[in-house]
Amino acid sequence: MTLLAQALFEPLLPSSIERVLLVEQRAYVRPWSHLNFLDSLNAGYQAQMLVAGGSTLSFQQGCEAALSRRTENRLRQPDPCGF
C-alpha cells in the first residue's frame, strides 16, 4: 500500500502541535510558534493534520465566522508521496 493510500485526516490537538511545527518550520520563513497554534486552538479554530505512515504530511486550519469561512492550508514538507 502506498503512503498516499494510507493518508488520513486527524484532528490537531494540543498534544500534536510539535508534529505540526516540523511542517510549519519547513514551509515558512516566519513560522508560527507553539503558542500561536495553542492560542488558535483555544480560540476555537478547527484544525486537521494529514498523516500517513507515522508522518505529518500537511495540515489545515480554519474558523467559521458569522457568514464566512477562512481556511489556511499550510503544506508542506518534502513530499514522500510525490504529489
Rg of the chain on CA atoms, in Å: 13
Residues 6+ apart with CB under 8 A from 31: 21, 24, 25
Averages of pLDDT over runs of 10 residues in the chain (83 residues) are: 81 93 87 92 88 84 45 44 42
- Which pTM value belongs to this model? 0.69
Burial of residue 61 (number of CB atoms within 10 Å: 0-12, 13-18, 19+): buried
Cell of 49: 493534520
Given this model, what pLDDT does residue 63 score?
Answer: 54
Domains of the chain with bracketed CATH: 3-75 (3.40.630.30)
